[in-house]
Amino acid sequence: MMHNLPPKPKRSTFKTVRNILIGVILAGIYIWTFMGIDIDFAKAVDRMTNNYARIIPKLLDPDWSALSDVWAAMVETIYIAFAGSLMAAILAIPLGFLAAQNMTNNRVLTTIGKWILSAIRAFPDIILAILFIVVVGPKPFAGVLAIAIGSTGMLGKLYSEVLESIDTNVVEAMEANGANKLQILVHGILPQITPEFLSYAIYRFEIDVRASTILGIVGAGGIGTLIVFAKMNRNWEEMGLILLMIIVVVTVIDLISTQIRKRLV
């Protein structure tokens, strides 16, 4: 039986070469990864079978007597996150304006602004915390500073994107009216950006609550401090309570913040 097969698809040599190249690079990366990584599965499985009974059931059986301590530490975590986010929300405003193309009519300045913001974002919060502990000592304030700086990177970027997407017709109309720069800012730009700025700041607060929970691991205050103690003392019942506390509080804050943000925009 004769089959009338369709013509073979025409592929440009560029695409073929590109696809082969992508394949080779990917294969190379994975070969490098699996050759390089050194995991002793037998040992790990062996340890897990030994440790399982000492850890997992206890995690699921929280130690309620520690509730007041854990709660106090969680509240401190929220303070850190709040103080840090608010500082960031304000610090990010000038940086956001600097990095926004249509606000700073200067390519060099905009690029510098964008570079600063992405440089900040490249630092994990914990590393910032380590640095600030050296500056102000191992206490919650170091955590606040780490959160503040860390969040500024992301908020500044989001702010600049909001600014770049505003309706410039309004600004033009006001310029035509003879309004000065400050008047344009207050009456033309602020009303457009305020809801979104606030919404992003609250969103970042959500993230910061999560981020603050681990700052204590390096000594920057909050519930992470208890995590370190619970781990050192192998007090897995308390760890279970800490975990539960984080899950509940983070979930509740997420829910509230989502509701507020829905109303804002």
Among the residue ranges 105-113, 159-167, 169-177, 238-246, the one whose residues contact another protein (CB under 8 A): 238-246
Q: State phi, psi for 184 to the nearest 5 degrees.
A: -60, -45
Q: Say which residues have a Cβ less than 8 Å from residue 138's Cβ, sequence separation at least 6.
A: 219, 220
> Which residue number, 3 or 107, has a Cβ lying nearer to another protein?
3
Closest by Cα among 61, 80, 196, 95 to 139: 80
Quick check: 43 binds another protein (CB under 8 A)?
Answer: yes
Among 70, 145, 154, 155, binds another protein (CB under 8 A): 145
Rule CB under 8 A: which of 243-262 touch another protein?
243, 246-247, 250-251, 254
CA distance 253 to 260: 11
- The structure tokens listed for 84 are 């840090």
Establish if 221 lies at the interface with another protein (CB under 8 A): yes
Q: Which of 91, 112, 116, 136 binds another protein (CB under 8 A)?
A: 136
CB of 171 to another protein, least distance (A): 19
Q: What does residue 101 show for φ and ψ, rounded to 5 degrees? A: -55, -45
Site membership for another protein, residue 6 (CB under 8 A): yes
Report, in Å, the least distance between residue 46 CB and another protein: 9
> What's the CA gap between 44 and 50, in Å, rounded?
10
Query: Is the Cβ of residue 57 or residue 106 nearer to another protein in the bound state?
Result: 57
